[in-house]
Amino acid sequence: MVEELVRWGYLRTPSLIEAFRRVPREEFVPSSLRKYAYEDHPLSIGYGQTISAPSMIALMLESLDLRKGQKVLEVGTGSGYNAALLAELVGREGRVVSMERLPGLASFGRENLRRTGYGWVEVVVGDGTCGYPPGAPWDRILITACSPGFPPPLVEQLKVGGRMGAPVGHFYGGQVWKVAEKKEGGDLRVENYSPCSFVPLVGKYGWKE
Ligand code: SAM
């Protein structure tokens, strides 16, 4: 899978290639779907939610320039797979907090992370559109569910010079992976990366249930 993602140009950065090699994706999918873990598709993780396709995850993480020591907030823990990749990228000198609104999925993700050696990633149950003020300001924020825009509390909690990535658009279609960089004074410089398709971000500053 990693060789193909490199050949297709999705994976370029050596630290990210190494992270993809180290995190065992089959440990983050339901046991009945293990045989598909290394195919380039999203897979169901229950509760009507999905783990994104490896190529989409590679594109998201390449766009965020993640480095050792950074403090990262993920919104949408799901299986915990993306959080494990974040943990590899920022290392133990960094911090990864991942928020999940569905308690059952938070438990699934937390247990997958613990079993694979990433138990130091903090999984928090709650509405990630409101962010996690105790850990702010964040160097990086990743939203892994489609949002009407960049939620204002998350913009507030992003460091100046920090980056936030999100699939922005409607859950019926027309979503684009966008990355916003916060400038001095609080303005965002937004770059469009790629069309994408994510489940909805449900919360106070997302979509209604
Ligand atoms: N990053 C996950 C992984 O590696 O498996 C996949 C995330 S899945 C595409 C999107 C997740 O976002 C779902 O688990 C969903 O329950 C969660 N979600 C949706 N709205 C949320 C919110 N407001 N706060 C936290 N999590 C939310």
CATH classification at residue 114: 3.40.50.150
Q: Is the pLDDT of residue 209 over 90?
A: no
Per residue in 145-189, pLDDT tens? 999 999 999 999 999 999 999 999 998 889 999 999 999 999 999
For residue 41, being part of any structural domain is answered with yes
Q: Quick check: 83 and 97 in contact, CB under 8 A?
A: no
In ligand 1, the atom with minimum distance to the C-alpha of 51 is 5
Q: Which residues contact 32 (CB under 8 A, 6 or more apart)?
A: none
Q: Is residue 202 part of a domain?
A: no
Q: 202 in ligand 1 pocket by Cβ < 6 Å? A: yes
The domain tally of the chain equals 1
**Considering the entire predicted model, what is its pTM?**
0.98
A 10 A CB-CB count for 203 gives 20
- Which entry of 15, 31, 44, 52 is annotated as an active-site residue? 52
Out of 202, 207, 208, give the residue to mutate to test ligand 1, the one with the largest number of ligand atoms within 8 Å of its CB.
202
Tokens of 18: 């190494």
Is there a domain that residue 162 lies in? yes
Q: Report which of 77, 52, 69, 179 is spatially closest to residue 127, judged by C-alpha positions.
A: 77
Tell me the CA–centroid distance for residue 62 and ligand 1, in Å.
20
Neighbours of 134 (CB within 10 A): 7
Residue 32 catalytic?
Answer: no
CB 181 within 8 A of CB 162: yes
- Please indicate, yes or no, if residue 184 is contained in any of the structural domains: yes
Q: What is the pLDDT of residue 51?
A: 97
Amino acid (1-letter code) at residue 148: P
The predicted structure's pLDDT at residue 20: 98
The pair of three-digit structure tokens given for residue 31, joined into one six-digit string: 């046991």
Q: Do the domain assignments include residue 69? A: yes
The two three-digit tokens of residue 87, written as one number: 């943990």
Q: Is the beta carbon of 79 within 6 A of some atom in ligand 1?
A: yes
Position 90 in a domain: yes
- If we measure between CA atoms, which residue out of 153, 160, 135, 140 comes closest to residue 201? 153
Q: Are 139 and 154 in contact (CB under 8 A)?
A: no
Instruction: Convert the pLDDT of each residue in 15-49 to its tens digit.
Output: 999 999 999 999 999 999 999 999 999 999 999 99
pLDDT, residue 70, reads 98
| Residue-level pLDDT at 173 | 87
CB 77 within 8 A of CB 100: yes
Residue 180, pLDDT score: 98
| Domain of residue 152, residue span | 2-196
Residue range 107-157, pLDDT digits in tens: 999 999 999 999 999 999 999 999 999 999 999 999 999 999 999 999 999
Q: Find all residues with CB under 8 Å of 63, minimum gap 6, and list them.
A: 165, 177, 179, 191, 193
Q: How far is the CA of 145 from the centre of ligand 1 (A)?
A: 6
Residue 171: per-residue pLDDT: 86
Residue 21 in any domain: the answer is: yes
CB-ligand 1 contact for 73 (6 Å cutoff): no
Per-residue pLDDT tens digits for 77-113: 999 999 999 999 999 999 999 999 999 999 999 999 9
Q: Is 206 part of any domain?
A: no
Q: Which tokens is 146 given? A: 């489609």
The pLDDT score that the predictor gives to residue 5 is 98
